[in-house]
C-alpha cells in the first residue's frame, strides 16, 4: 500500500508522563476508509493515543503519520482534514447551537453549515437552545454534527457514547454510520462497549496496560482464533498454536488459541469465537513490558 492508503501509521509510538508510560511501543497501521474501534480498560492509554494522533500531544518516542503526513509537521491544511471529538464532547455551555455552528464555520475552511443544520433538524435539536440546556445525548449529537460538518477525511472520537443511554447510543452510531456511508471517511473511536462495535466497525485495536495487544481486520481476527475445549490438562496438547487464554474447571480445560491450535488429541472440540469473548480474553492478559510479544506456545 502507498502512504495515502493508510489514514494512520504509528511507529514505536510512546508517551510518558513523568514516570508513567501512558503508551509504549505502539506500531500499527489503519487503512483508509475503515471504521476502527480502539478498545481498552480505564487507564489503558486510549485518550493518550488519540491525542497523539490528532497532534494535541507530542510523542516521547516514535512517530505518527496521519493522512500521509508526519504529525510533527502538521500543517493547517492537514489539520483541517482531521475531526476530533474529545471525551465528554465538551461544548461551550453558554453558547446556543446556532452560535456553536457559527464558531465552527469561522474556525474551519471546509465547514459545511448546511450539513450540520440538516442533521440537527432531523434530530429536532433547536438552534436557539443553549448547549447547557440540552440533554447529554443531544449534546453528543451536536458535537458530532460539528465534527462532521468539517467534512474530515479522518474522524477521531474519544469514547463518544460513554454518557449515553442505550437508545441514544444507537442513534449516535446510526448517525455516525450514515455519515461514513455518505462521505467515505476513516473513523477511529475509542469505546468500552464491545457488543455494539461489531455492527459498525471493521477494524480493531485492543490497548491494554499501555500497549497494543491486538490489531487488525475484525473478520480476519475472529477467523484466526478459536476456542478449544477438552479434558483437563496443562501439558498433553500436541498441536501448536498460540494460547491467548487458558482456563480450567475440575474436568475440562478451555483454551482460546490463535493461528492453528486445532484440537488434535481425542476428546477435544474446536468452536469459533465471538468478538466479545476475543476482546475480553486479550483484556484479561497480564501486563508485559518487554520488546517481544508475549506468545505462549501450546505444549507439543
For ligand ATP, the binding residues (CB under 6 A) are 17, 20, 22, 40, 42-48
Q: How far is CA 166 from the centre of its chain?
A: 19
Residue 30 or 273 having the CB closest to ligand ATP: 30
CB 85 to ligand ATP: min, Å = 14
Determine the 3-state secondary structure of 79 from DSSP.
helix
> Considering the complex, what minimum distance in angstroms separates the CB of residue 16 from ligand ATP?
9
**Minimum distance, C-beta of residue 10 to ligand ATP, in the bound complex (Å):** 15
C-alpha cell at 152: 474530515
The Cα 208–Cα 237 span in angstroms is: 29
**Contacts by 194-199 with C-beta closer than 8 Å and gap 24+?**
194/39, 194/275, 194/276, 194/279, 194/280, 195/276, 196/161, 196/169, 196/170, 197/37, 197/39, 197/275, 198/275, 198/276, 199/173
> Which of residues 40 and 137 has its CB atom nearest to ligand ATP in the complex?
40
Look-up of cell digits 450514515: 178
Q: Is the four-CA dihedral 220, 284, 272, 35 of positive or negative sign?
A: negative
* Min separation Cβ 203 and ligand ATP, Å: 18
With contact defined as beta carbons under 8 Å apart, do 142 and 171 qualify?
no
Closest contact distance (angstroms) between CB of 87 and ligand ATP is 6
Q: Which three cell numbers stand for residue 259?
A: 493461528
Q: Which is nearer to ligand ATP, 32 or 36 (CB)?
A: 36
The CA angle 85-87-88, to the nearest 5 degrees, is 100
232 touches 253 (CB < 8 A): yes
Is the Cβ of residue 138 or residue 190 nearer to ligand ATP in the bound state?
A: 190
CA distance 123 to 145: 10
Cβ closest to ligand ATP, residue 44 vs residue 205 = 44
Q: In this structure, how many other beta carbons lie within 10 angstroms of the beta carbon of residue 293? A: 10
What is the enclosing helix (H) or strand (E) of 251? none
Q: In whole angstroms, how close is the CB of 284 to ligand ATP at the nearest point?
A: 16
Residues 6+ apart with CB under 8 A from 188: 7, 8, 30, 36, 38, 50, 53, 154, 155, 156, 157
Taking the least distance from each CB to ligand ATP, the nearer of 22 and 244 is 22
CA–CA separation, 108 vs 255, rounded Å? 51
Rounded Cα–Cα distance for residues 50 and 53 (Å) = 5
Q: How far is the CB of 52 from ligand ATP (least distance, A)?
A: 9
Q: How far is the CB of 51 from ligand ATP (least distance, A)?
A: 8
Amino acid at each position: 500500500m502507498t502512504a495515502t492508503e493508510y489514514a494512520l501509521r504509528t511507529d514505536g509510538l510512546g508517551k510518558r508522563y513523568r514516570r508513567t508510560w501512558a503508551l509504549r511501543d505502539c506500531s500499527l497501521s489503519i487503512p483508509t476508509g475503515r471504521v476502527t474501534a480502539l478498545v481498552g480498560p480505564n487507564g489503558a492509554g486510549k485518550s493518550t493515543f488519540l491525542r497523539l494522533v490528532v497532534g494535541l500531544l507530542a510523542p516521547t518516542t516514535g512517530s505518527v503519520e496521519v493522512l500521509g503526513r508526519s504529525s510533527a509537521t502538521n500543517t493547517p491544511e492537514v489539520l483541517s482534514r482531521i475531526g476530533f471529538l474529545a471525551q465528554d464532547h465538551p461544548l461551550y455551555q453558554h453558547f446556543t447551537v446556532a452560535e456553536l455552528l457559527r464558531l465552527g464555520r469561522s474556525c474551519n475552511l471546509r465547514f459545511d453549515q448546511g450539513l450540520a443544520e440538516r442533521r440537527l433538524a432531523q434530530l429536532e435539536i433547536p438552534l436557539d437552545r443553549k448547549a447547557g440546556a440540552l440533554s447529554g445525548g443531544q449534546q453528543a449529537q451536536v458535537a458530532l454534527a460539528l465534527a462532521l460538518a468539517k467534512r474530515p477525511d479522518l474522524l477521531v472520537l474519544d469514547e463518544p457514547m460513554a454518557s449515553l443511554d442505550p437508545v441514544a447510543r444507537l442513534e449516535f452510531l446510526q448517525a455516525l454510520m450514515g455519515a461514513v456511508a455518505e462521505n467515505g471517511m476513516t473513523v477511529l473511536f475509542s469505546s468500552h462497549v464491545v457488543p455494539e462495535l461489531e455492527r459498525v466497525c471493521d477494524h480493531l485495536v485492543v490497548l491494554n496496560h499501555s500497549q497494543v495487544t491486538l490489531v487488525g481486520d475484525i473478520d480476519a481476527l475472529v477467523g484466526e482464533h478459536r476456542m478449544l475445549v477438552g479434558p483437563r490438562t496443562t501439558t498433553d496438547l500436541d498441536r501448536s498454536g498460540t494460547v491467548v487464554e487458558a482456563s480450567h474447571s475440575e474436568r475440562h480445560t478451555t483454551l482460546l488459541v490463535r493461528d492453528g491450535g486445532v484440537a488434535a488429541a481425542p476428546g477435544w472440540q474446536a468452536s469459533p469465537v465471538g468478538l466479545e469473548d476475543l476482546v475480553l480474553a486479550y483484556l484479561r492478559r497480564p501486563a508485559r513490558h518487554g520488546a517481544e510479544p508475549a506468545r505462549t506456545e501450546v505444549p507439543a
